[in-house]
Structure formats: C-alpha cells, structure tokens
Amino acid sequence: MVGKLGKTFTNGILNENPSFKLVLGTCPTLAVTTSAINGVGMGVSTLVVLTCSNIVISMLRKFIPDKVRIPAFITVIAAFVTIVQMLLKAFVPALDKSLGIYIPLIVVNCIILARAEAFASKYPIGQSAMDGLGMGVGFTIALTLIGAFREILGNGSIFNLQLFGENNVFGSAAMSSVPPMLMMI
C-alpha cells in the first residue's frame, strides 16, 4: 500500500507536474511568479487547498450526485481557499498583499478542479491525499523555479538577497519581473 501511495505522490512531482508536463495553472504561473517568494507562497497555498479539498471530495465522493458534482467541488475548494486567505492575511500580510487577487482565483484553478474530477472523486482518501500533496509539491517547485529565474533576471536577486551587487548586470532584462513580460521570455 505504501508503494502505491508513494507512486501517487511522486507522480505529481515528476511524471505529471502540473506546470511543466500538463501545462495547467498557467494563469498563476505567469502572473504571480515575479519572485521566488511569490512562487513559494502561491505554491504552498495551492498545495494546502489541493490536498484538503482532495481529502474532503474523496470522503464525499459516494454522496455527491453526478449532476451537481462540479458545483459541489467548487464549494469545497472555495471553503479551503477562504481559510488559506484568512491565514495569509493574519500571519503573512505582505505575502497576501503581493499575491492579491490570485489567492481567490485558486477556487477556479484548473489544476485543483482537474484533480477533484479526475482523481479525488474516484479514489480513496489516502490516495487522494497523496495525489494532492504530490501535485501541490510539483506545482510549488515549478512556481518557485520560474519565480527564482524571473527574480534573478529582473532584479539580480533571489529570495530578496542581492546576487550581483547594487547594479543589476542584466540591465533591460528587468522587464521580465513584470507579469505580462514573461510571455516574451
């Protein structure tokens, strides 16, 4: 049983990475990842919502009629997004302000809805939890790597630590830290 759970977990990180392999969640990937810190914050927020919603949806899967499953999934997801946003506002207000509107948009993030529909609604709680953790960790890694790359190019820093002194050696690459400019990289 542990082997199956471990495979489900690592599948979300390596074989089915939401951002790199499945190309899901591109809205937060492009818009939020202006820094490594934002990538970690959005990734961990998504990880918590994904894991918790997978567990609850898996527990309720036999009781939710097919006709209302998507609205039911969205309701469960919205409850966890609200909790995460309240926790961010209370304990990490700077990160909450930086992530802005993208935290509430986790409710309709295609990664979470896809995992609810394709996995949590069909598998037992343990596997659904591991799927949520694996996909969440994979998404967090992807957002952190992209955010770090953009922060290095745009500001010459990583996690707000200057790498190249006061003068940014990349000059005009600073535009890569502006959300729409990622499309040009």
pLDDT surpasses 70 at 169: no
The whole-number pLDDT of residue 176 equals 53
Assign 115 to helix, strand or coil: helix
The whole-number pLDDT of residue 111 equals 83
Q: Per-residue DSSP letters for 132-180?
A: HHHHHHHHHHHHHHHHHHHHHHHHSEETTEESS-SS-TTGGGGGGGSGG
CA angle 11, 15, 20 (to 5 degrees): 120
Question: Model pTM?
Answer: 0.82
State the average pLDDT over residues 24-39.
81
pLDDT surpasses 90 at 129: yes
Q: Tens of pLDDT along 36-64?
A: 999 999 999 999 999 999 999 999 999 99
User: How far apart are the C-alpha atoms of 184 and 146, rounded to whole Å?
Assistant: 14
Q: Tens of pLDDT along 134-146?
A: 989 988 998 999 9
The whole-number pLDDT of residue 5 equals 76
pLDDT surpasses 70 at 177: no
pLDDT surpasses 70 at 185: no
The whole-number pLDDT of residue 178 equals 56
